[in-house]
């Protein structure tokens, strides 16, 4: 699927040059063009493009004013400003512009802009797909706030669905969340707190600020220094995970220790 694109510039040669550059791309398709700010708003409102290339200085509304209005919309195109003036750059990025192209620009510089557009679009598409998948999984689940399947990131951009029973523990590392199963681990887009809310109690318990354990997968409990404990989990590596001191009492109650 090609990204539908609108070109807005009050100079015909500038629009033609941009159309020529875009015509060589398989990923974008020019569906309309405008020469004034008001015309641009009407076209973008009606056509709802994926991408808008905006000149800044035009008769009537400027490119900045158009972008400010677009920001209030629920469905917004990705915006790239094209101008001969560099003094608007800071304002442009405050308006969430994907890029700021200074005229005249090279084909190499333009290629970088296209790369940013495609990266952003793929990221937004993945986020929407993940949200839709989560809603679908939740709608199939008789428990209103928990998961039957847990989506995780697999190879080649695929999404793997784990059964709850497969999960040995989940943990955070360098700001990312990982889910450990018997013989592998996967990165999750959930935060640890979101997983804690969604995984069923009492099988899963937040034993530490950085760990959630499947209590049915505990093999051993090891008394540790200064009244702390460690859990030997039932994965192939028999991973050891810590238990916070303030979680010990509740953990003992749950597992009848």
The percent of residues above 90 in pLDDT, for the chain, comes to 45
pLDDT of residue 141: 52
Same fold, 3-128 and 149-255: no
**113 has a pLDDT exceeding 70:** yes
Round to whole Å and give the CA distance between 17 and 8: 12
**Given CA atoms 91, 97, 102, 104 in this order, what sign does their dihedral have?**
negative
Is the entire prediction scored with pTM above 0.75? no
Work out the average pLDDT over 177-186: 94
CA distance 165 to 119: 35
131 or 168: which leads in pLDDT: 168
Give SS3 for 72.
coil
Q: Got the DSSP string for 168-198?
A: -EEEEETTEEEEE-SS-EEEESS-HHHHHHH
Selected residue with higher pLDDT from 228 and 17: 17
What average pLDDT does range 39-67 have in this prediction?
90
Mean residue pLDDT across the chain: 86
Tell me the two tokens of residue 67. Answer: 């972008």
Domain map of the chain by residue range?
Answer: 3-128, 149-255
* Mean pLDDT calculated for residue range 162-190: 92
Q: What homologous superfamily is domain 149-255 in, according to CATH?
A: LytTr DNA-binding domain (2.40.50.1020)
Domain at 3-128: CATH architecture: 3-Layer(aba) Sandwich (3.40)
The answer on pLDDT for 181 being more than 50 is yes
Using omega within 30 degrees of 0 as the cis cutoff, is the peptide bond preceding 104 cis? Answer: yes
Backbone CA torsion sign across 62, 68, 74, 75: positive
Strand partners, 83: 102
Question: Over the stretch 211-235, which tens digit does the pLDDT of each residue have?
Answer: 999 999 999 999 877 677 899 999 9
Predicted confidence at residue 79, as pLDDT, reads: 92
pLDDT by residue (tens digit) across 133-142? Answer: 666 555 555 4
pLDDT tens sequence across 117-129: 998 887 776 666 6
Residue 197: the pLDDT is 85
Which tokens belong to 86? 């560099």
């Amino acid at each position: 699927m090609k990204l539908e694109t609108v070109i807005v510039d009050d100079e015909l040669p500038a629009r033609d040059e941009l159309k020529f550059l875009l015509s060589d791309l398989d990923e974008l398709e020019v569906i309309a063009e405008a020469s004034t700010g008001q015309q641009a708003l009407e076209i973008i409102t009606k056509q709802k493009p994926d991408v808008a290339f905006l000149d800044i200085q035009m008769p009537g509304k400027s490119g900045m004013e158009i972008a400010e209005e677009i920001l209030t919309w629920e469905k917004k195109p990705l915006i790239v400003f094209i101008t001969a003036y560099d003094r608007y750059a800071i304002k442009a990025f405050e308006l969430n512009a994907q890029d700021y192209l200074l005229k005249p620009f090279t084909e190499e510089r333009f290629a970088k802009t296209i790369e940013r557009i495609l990266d952003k679009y793929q990221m937004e598409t993945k986020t929407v797909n993940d949200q839709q998948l989560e809603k679908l999984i939740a709608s199939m689940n008789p428990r209103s706030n928990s998961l039957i399947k847990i989506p995780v990131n697999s190879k080649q951009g695929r999404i793997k669905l784990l059964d709850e029973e497969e999960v040995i523990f989940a943990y955070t590392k360098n700001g990312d969340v990982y889910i450990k199963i018997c013989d592998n681990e996967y990165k999750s887009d959930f935060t640890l707190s979101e997983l804690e809310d969604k995984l069923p109690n009492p099988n899963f318990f937040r034993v530490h600020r950085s760990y959630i354990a499947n209590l049915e997968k505990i093999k051993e409990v090891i008394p540790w220094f200064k009244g702390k404990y460690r859990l030997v989990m039932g994965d192939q590596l028999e991973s050891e995970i810590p238990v916070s001191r303030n979680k010990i009492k509740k953990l003992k109650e749950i597992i009848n220790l």
